[in-house]
Structure 1
Amino acid sequence: MSDLKFGTSGLRGLVTELGDDVCAAYTLAFLTHMQDRHAVPADGLLLVGYDLRSSSPRIAAACIAAAKAFGMRVENCGPLPTPALALRALSLKAPAIMVTGSHIPADRNGLKFYRPDGEIDKADEAGILAVLDREKPAAPESDDAEISQEALQRYVERCASLLAPGVLSGRRIGVYQHSSVARDVMVDILTKAGAEAVGLGRSDVFVPVDTEALRPEDVAFAEKACREYKLDALVSTDGDADRPLISDEKGNFLRGDMVGLLTARFLDADAVVTPVTSNTSIEHCGFFVKVYRTRVGSPYVIEGMNKAAADGCRCIIGFEANGGVLLGTSVGTADRSLDALPTRDAMLPILSVLAMAAKEGVPLSQLVNGLPARFTGSGRIEHVAAEQSAAFLKSLEDAGTVEVFFADVGSIGESDRIDGTRIVLSSGDLVHYRASGNAPELRCYTEAASKERAAELLAWGLERARRALNDKLSDREFSR
């Protein structure tokens, strides 16, 4: 269990590390913590759902068996989007466990925990670890509990209620289905809104679609599909459908933070909460009364939304650079209204962006072109241990070191360390380094006034960091 850890989106690890006994231990620790800190009764209800990875049903069965052995009643929600499970948990005021590795490869998986009032926070993570039985319990017998469709049905009804019937009439929308747990839900909901939904790319093998680091084959697929099928847009999600993927009519994917910005605009938000990795078009556009910046990860966005609520904001929308939108308050459009759902959701931004373009009678590309021209880049250096990333970021806290480090690209204008090190050059260009919360890698983000400059900065930033990391490793080996 020592190789498993909580990241920005729950507990993650290799499938080989997530044996039945380990899953049972974490389930029991979660339920013990829920009893101790959140007044969940010993014989209360637990919800369990999972994505379409080949390992997920087995892990879910282990969690269900452990919960029943603990004395809980269990509703097996089966394969469904993470936000659908969260919606059901909130409505029943019950804890929940989602078995998902989101966008990471199929040899990995994870557990995402929900309190009766929403996602667990960092204090809950510490509480779970504090009561985790280091002596692995006996592996529970597999439990094939009957699947309830109630949670999925409620979610589909919620999504369909956002838009009036026919809003997307005349729009031909491709649905890149791959192995998304929402692949059929997307077709159903878009059809209800009047669109001609075309299912494409369905896969029986898990496809690790990462909305922040698209594979070349995903980009090529979008361009070809939009051209061949004459699509107005192509939409998809990651594996557990809490992060959207949207391309315009030319097959160009919209950045997740621009999807979030457009969603917040469509819903008439007065406050936006988003991590420092989202680009500064959010401030430059002038659409929102307040913008709150946070560390990366939904727990921090939720903290920011709570602060916005305490500040008296009317309509609070949180989103991450991956495009997942969190609804901090109930919202209403000209057609419908939705209750708050403070967890990442892919369908809300997909429907909002498509409806915005349809109502304005413009292609998706025109929506994006109307936003302030800020261009971004992102990349990662893989196989960088957490302690290496920490040492690298620590070195950039020294003003003299930072000045020398960035001398090749410009002088320092301002900086912050909300999450990693984020440097704004005097030119307005931006370079941001942070350690990934989900994998052993160092991430680099850039922003500039042109696409070419953002790409140039990203190439420089990655290479400069590689040199620094290699220098530190060489120094350490020499000292030994």
Structure 2
Amino acid sequence: MALSDIVKAYDVRGLVDGQLTEEVVRALGAAFADEVDAGRPGAAPIVIGHDMRPSSPALAAAAADGARARGADVVMIGLCSTDATYFASGSLDAPAMMFTASHNPAAYNGIKFSRAGARGVSLDTGLAAIRDGAQRYLDEGLAEAPERGGLTERDVLPDYAAHLRSLVDLTPIRPLKVVVDAANGMGGMTVPAVLGGAAGLGPLPIEVVPLYFELDGTFPNHEANPLDPANLVDLQAAVVEHGADLGLAFDGDADRCFVIDERGGAVSPSAVAAIVAEREIRRVQAAGEQDVVVIHNLITSRAVPETITAAGATPVRTRVGHSLIKDRMAETGAVFGGEHSAHYYFRDFWGADNGMLAAMHVLATLGGDDEPMSQLAARYTPYASSGEINSTVADVPAAYTRIVEAFAGRGHFDELDGLTVMAADGAWWFSVRPSNTEPLLRLNVEGEQAATMAAIRDEVLALIRA
């Protein structure tokens, strides 16, 4: 098979057995060992973790076999969230592989790669070389190193939980009741460890009401994709039923976190980004840091850079993309980075994303005052937003041209990532980005007034779908 079918811009993703077989994964593990030079004497071991999908343990073992065949030592950390592999990669200064398909259905699996220090790997920074090396091994056979690498096992969960507790102190907050929907994903293991006593840490003034904490990669209750509003319905109802202060929803590998307020309303990831950004800016300013930088991608709400600026820091606007954000975090020394997709990146977490850490910041903010979550979120949500709307388009360039012609002279054009048009008076903006892998256009619109946003949304959608 052609590995280009499953090697995406930032990770590997494919159907189990049909595309992502143990043979394929063994070749990818070997090629990753080559890319990070893990077979040389004295090299750091490769960390390998996996989620709760039925296929994950066997695929992780196959990758370990391939890496060891190339002379690399391997540390298996077993069941874990994606951000726990980033913790292992950062704290051990070792490259890592995480087996997960995140929010995708059970038939899928995938691999997220990290260099030592939890640095991202994309097609431009090593993933293409891994793909091509693995393809050669599949076509020509895997050339084994003179000496096979060793294999050890390690439980990183207690250290991971303790590290997060060291970054956000939740002990002084008022008592909170929190409903958590783990969607049968890895949040069912990490939440009890970080917010409860499962990792042997002291108690917090937080009562967790669990929803779907049983690890089950067949997702018997609903898909582990909080971006889809249908998957938030159970959590929203439970928050209201239990009189909770807020709700948290994690995706399958628990690296993204969505927030529900006490009324059952969804809190925008942009509002979460603004809340966390403000906290992180104030923290480092209090320690004497000047010239603080915070990253946000170009389709977060305008409220995010406005909050950053008001707090005395510099917002840096970037294109959309996981590895790209990590790279910009490293380049700028940013203390924090936020994306519209509920990925939140922290300098104190090796520049990697961590949904649990973002949730802890929200809990600390909410628990530090008597204000309910709905009011807190409203302060950081001054604009009306469409959310991301995807349209299947037969001729993407033609649709793009129609939009450019229709809005010529009506605003400022920006082509940092797709096309962004900003009204001269600031009343609205929209972004249209072509998908890298599908004939799709992705539309995001924001306006100072809901009616303005809706009018621009409908006009651009009509142009896209004409």
**Which band: TM-score by shorter chain?**
0.7 to 0.9
Structure 1 portions without partners, runs of 5+: 310-314, 329-338, 468-480
SS of 1:355 mapped into structure 2: helix
Tell me by how many angstroms 1:216 deviates: 2.2
1:30, 1:433 → 2: CA distance?
35
Deviations 1:168-191 (A, max 9, x none): 442111111212212232134223
Deviation per residue, 1:54-112 (Å, 9 max, x gap): 22222212111211222222111112111111111122121110111112222222111
Decide which of 293, 296, 299 is 2:320's aligned counterpart. 296
Q: Which amino acid aligns with 1:442?
A: L
Aligned-partner Cα distance in 2 for 1:232–1:438: 40
Please give the secondary structure, in 2, of the residue aligned with 1:444.
Answer: strand
Q: Is the 8 A contact 1:43 1:71 kept in 2?
A: no
Please say if residues 47 and 74 of structure 1, whose CA atoms lie closer than 8 Å, have aligned partners that are also in contact: yes
Q: Could you say what secondary structure the match of 1:113 adopts?
A: strand
Aligned twin of 1:307:
331
Tell me whether 72-81 or 451-460 shows the greater mean CA deviation: 451-460
- 1:208/1:435 CA distance change after superposition, 3 Å: farther
Match of 1:216 in 2: 230
Q: TM-score, normalised by structure 2?
A: 0.84
Cα distance in 1 for residues equivalent to 2:461 and 2:312: 33
Distance (Å, rounded) in 2 between the aligned partners of 1:5 and 1:440: 18
8 Å CA contact 1:103, 1:210 repeated in 2: yes
Mapped contact 1:25–1:136 kept (Cα < 8 A): yes
| Deviation at residue 392 of structure 1 after TM alignment | 4.8
Which of 248, 270, 274 is residue 261 of structure 2 equivalent to? 248
Which whole-Å CA distance do the structure 1 matches of 2:446 and 2:389 have between them? 15
**Which residue of 353, 359, 384 corresponds with 1:375?**
384
Contact kept? 1:5, 1:12, Cα under 8 Å: yes
1:417 CA displacement: 1.3
Which residue does 1:321 correspond to in 2?
340
1:231-257 CA distance string (max 9 Å, x none): 100012111111111111111121112
Aligned equivalent of 1:6, options 5, 8, 19 = 8
Q: In 2, distance between residues paired with 1:52 and 1:452?
A: 44
* Residue aligning to 2:74: 74
Query: Is the contact between residue 266 and residue 353 of structure 1 (CA under 8 Å) also seen in structure 2?
Result: no
CA contact (8 A) 1:24 1:66 kept: yes
Query: Hey, what's the Cα distance between the residues in 2 that align with 1:215 and 1:146?
Result: 42
2:420 to 412, 419, 422: 422
Instruction: Among all aligned residue pairs of Structure 1 and Structure 2, give the percentage whose two residues are the same amino acid.
Output: 25
Is contact 1:29-1:132 (8 Å) kept?
Answer: yes
Which secondary structure does the structure 1 equivalent of 2:4 belong to?
coil
Partners of 2:393 and 2:464 within 8 A in 1: no
Aligned equivalent of 2:249, options 220, 236, 249: 236
Tell me if the contact between 1:177 and 1:201 (Cα under 8 Å) persists in the aligned partners.
yes
Number of residue-to-residue matches in the alignment: 432
In 1, Cα distance between the equivalents of 2:430 and 2:443? 7
Name the residue aligned to 1:83.
83
Query: CA RMSD, aligned part only?
Result: 2.8
Amino acid at match of 1:13: G
Aligned pair 1:363/2:378, yes or no? Answer: no
Partner of 1:131, secondary structure, is helix
Change (3 A) 1:181 1:72: same
State how 1:33-112 maps to structure 2 within 5 Å.
33-35=35-37, 41=41, 44-112=44-112
**2:158 is aligned with 1:153:** yes
Q: Which amino acid aligns with 1:283?
A: P
Correspondent of 1:21 among 23, 28, 37: 23
Q: Distance in 1 between matches of 2:451 and 2:212?
A: 31
For residue 413 of structure 1, report the CA deviation from its aligned partner: 1.2
Which amino acid counterpart does residue 298 of structure 1 have in structure 2? H
Deviation at 1:155, TM superposition (A): 1.0
What is the distance in 2 between the residues matched to 1:56 and 1:437? 27
